[in-house]
Amino acid sequence: MRKRGGTEVFRITGARQGLADDVRGRQRRYVISMTVRTLSVIAAAVLWDVQRHVAVVALALGVLLPYIAVVIANAGRESAPSLPSTFVPPPVRPALGAAEASADRETEPPSGRN
C-alpha cells in the first residue's frame, strides 16, 4: 500500500515484545518461583514431624527451584518465529486487457489438437 506521497507503510504486527515488558515478565516469573520455593521450604519445616514424605518432596522442590528459576529468568528474549516483511506489498491490480483476453479464451472452442 502506498500513501499519496509514495512512502512505504511499515508493518509492525509481527514485532517482538518491548525490552521493558520482557524484563518485567522475567522478573515476575522469578518472583513467583521464589515465592513457591519459600512456601515449599516452610511447608517442609511444618510437615517434617507430621508427614515426612510430603516434607521431603517439598524440601526437594525448595532445593531445586532456585536453579530452575534462574535458568528461566536468564533465558533471554523470545525468538521471533519468522521475521515479518518490512513493507506491506502494494495490491495487485490486473490490467483491463487481461480480463477480456481470458474471457475470449474461455469462449473459443477447443482446436482439436492433442
Assessment of whether the complete model's pTM goes beyond 0.85: no
Q: Tell me the C-alpha to C-alpha distance, in Å, between residue 14 and each of 7, 17, 32, 41, 105.
A: 20, 9, 29, 42, 42
Q: Whose CA is closest to 15, among 63, 61, 83?
A: 83
Tens of each residue's pLDDT in the chain, 114 residues: 445 556 666 666 666 677 788 888 888 888 898 898 999 999 999 989 988 998 999 999 989 988 888 887 777 666 655 655 566 667 777 777 655 656 556 666 655 555
